[in-house]
Chains A and B, each alone.
Chain A
Amino acid sequence: MLNIENLHATVADKPILKGLSLAINAGEIHAIMGPNGAGKSTLSYVLGGRPGYEVTDGSATFDGQDLLDMDPHERAAAGLFLGFQYPVEIPGVSNVQFLRESLNAQRKARGEEPLSGGDFLKLAREKAGLLGLDMDMLKRPVNVGFSGGEKKRNEMVQMGILDPKLAILDETDSGLDIDALRVVGDGINTIMRRPDKAVLLITHYQRLLDYVQPDFVHVLAAGRIVKSGGPELALELEREGYAEIAA
């Protein structure tokens, strides 16, 4: 589904990714772990098409299409979802309006009929319920006044509504308390653990992986994947630290 080969990327002319290769197939959940500054968030932003993240070499294809050639909204319509480490507050823009317009823009791009207001609200209510987010929060301006945990839950509600093929979740576990971590973990499993979907989890810690069992774990260090393995690698990292493994 996602095929990254020899990806090099710079931010403000500083090389961050230095030859990263990774293949993710449908039905798989991959976790990328690594120390601060390894390039984890850069990878998510490069795949999400954030301006300022310059690809200097290599390729990334998504379902056979050149991902790097697409605009951010086209990537979304193709089925890519990026869960932000720091979800953005947008005063004055209601969550519900934003999500409905986003979903319908995606559907339009795919040649599908727009969802009616009633059907959308039904869908939103279902996904909010799944993540334990009050429906009133969805009517409020996007992320404004939300706690860290509420922002992350809102990201997952958005993921549920937009129903992507591939979700790249950048430190979705940070800022979550233990109960919220379980709710979010269950949400990821319910929404994304399907034979036709895939997830790339970016995290510092093992704890999210207790709830969302990865099929593959990769260690990212200095802009490259230096080690790959099964779920046991995450436990090993937790025990030994990155310094040992990434060295």
Chain B
Amino acid sequence: MTTNALPTRRDEAWRYSDIDAVTAAWPLPAPESIVVPAGGDFKRAIVQDEGAIHQIEMSIGKRAAASLHILNIGGAYGRIELNVILHEGADFHLGAAQIGGGEQNLEIVTTVTHAEPGATSRQMVRSVLGGTATGTYLGKVAVARDAQQTDSEQDVKAMLLDRSATANAKPELEIFADDVKCAHGCAIGELDAMALYYLQSRGLPPGEAKRLMLQAFVAGVFDGAADEEKLQALALAKLGELV
């Protein structure tokens, strides 16, 4: 994922990016490298609230577990890019929420490579977008030829608060092994009008009703995070700004 040349929209991984913002930030520093040793247990929460580009390369050793929680909410353009390699029996969990309004462009781009047998990966991504904001999730799962018994799952949902907002979601599977389980689900929708009306009929003002439903929508993403309460509170505050 490290490219020396400035990416253009023709590069698949930068297709929906704010190229002007990328240009301004170019050249990017070398990606952060995280190595989880065999049998290790790693946890990290990332809050992107200033309009930055984070690139992380992560290698998860044999039977090690790594869990990342991401809240992507800040700045005109915020991008988090993960390149994860799983070794034998390793486990990777990603719980991510990106919440944007105005003209924000937020994206999460992941490449999860099951390089060896028996590894598991779970990715859960929720996007909430209002105004003319754009939220993108590009998620590639690659399974190497001998990475049998791979168990991988992507669960991707986006909620559009305005018809002028955009959500892009692209799951991508590249599987060379023949005994694997790779599931992916993706949905983009709007808040259910009947549910909103039901909540309002009990006395909740429209903004409160929306906030309650959006809170439920992103709930679960930060379960088990190192900083769960802080992440929830930040997400809630950002949702409050949008409704």
Residues of chain A touching chain B, judged by Cβ–Cβ distance below 8 Å, are 48-51, 71-73, 75-77, 82, 84, 87-93, 97-99, 101-103, 105-106, 109, 141-142, 158, 162
Q: How far is the CA of A8 from the CA of B22 in the complex (A)?
A: 57
Given contacts A102-B199, A102-B203, 12 further A-B contacts (CB under 8 A): A48-B201, A73-B209, A76-B202, A89-B195, A90-B192, A92-B213, A92-B219, A98-B212, A102-B202, A105-B203, A158-B202, A162-B203
B194 contacts across to A, CB distance below 8 A: 88
Given A101-B204, A162-B202: A72 and B197 interface contact (C-beta under 8 Å): yes
Question: Residue-by-residue, is B173-212 near A (CB-CB < 8 Å gives 1, otherwise 0)?
Answer: 0000000000000000000111101111111111011001
List the count of A-B residue pairs having beta carbons below 8 Å apart.
78
Chain A residues whose C-beta falls within 8 Å of the C-beta of B42 in the assembled complex: none
B220 shortest CB reach to chain A, Å: 8
Q: Which residues of B contact A98 (CB under 8 A)?
A: 199, 202, 204, 212
Given A102-B202, A106-B203, does the pair A50, B216 have CB atoms closer than 8 Å?
Answer: no
Closest residue of chain B to A72 (Cβ to Cβ) is B200
A82 with B201: CB separation less than 8 A: yes
> Residues of A contacting B199 with CB < 8 Å?
90, 93, 98, 102
Q: Which residues of A contact B192 (CB under 8 A)?
A: 88, 90
What are the residues of chain B within 8 A of A109 when measuring CB–CB? 203
Residues on A with C-beta less than 8 A from B220 are: 92
Residues of chain B lying within 8 A (CB to CB) of residue A73: 200-206, 209
Cβ 8 A contact of B203, one of A50, A76, A90, A142: A76
Question: How far, in angstroms, from A51 to B219 measured CA to CA in the complex?
Answer: 28
> B217 within 8 Å of A by Cβ?
yes
What residue in chain A is nearest B202 (Cβ atoms)? A102
Interchain residue pairs with CB less than 8 A apart (6): A76-B200, A76-B202, A84-B201, A88-B198, A92-B219, A102-B199
Contact with A along B59-84 (1 / 0, CB 8 A): 00000000000000000000000000
Instruction: Determine the chain B residues whose CB is within 8 A of the CB of A141 once the complex forms.
Output: 216
Assembled-state Cα–Cα distance A210/B202 (Å): 28
A75 to B202, CA, bound (A): 9
Contact B216 A76 (CB under 8 A): no
Contact B201 A90 (CB under 8 A): no
B208 touches A101 (CB 8 A): yes
Closest to B197 in A: A50
Min Cβ gap B195→A in Å is 5
Pick from B194, B197, B201, B212 the residue with the most CB of A within 10 Å: B201
A50–B200 Cα gap in the complex (Å)? 10
**Which single residue of chain B is at the shortest CB-CB distance from A91?**
B216
Residues of B within 8 A of A71 (CB): 200, 205-206
A106 partner residues in chain B, CB cutoff 8 A: 203
Q: Are A105's CB and B216's CB within 8 A?
A: no
CB of A68 to closest CB in B, whole Å: 15
Q: A99-B202, A106-B203 are in contact. Are A88 and B195 (CB under 8 A)?
A: yes
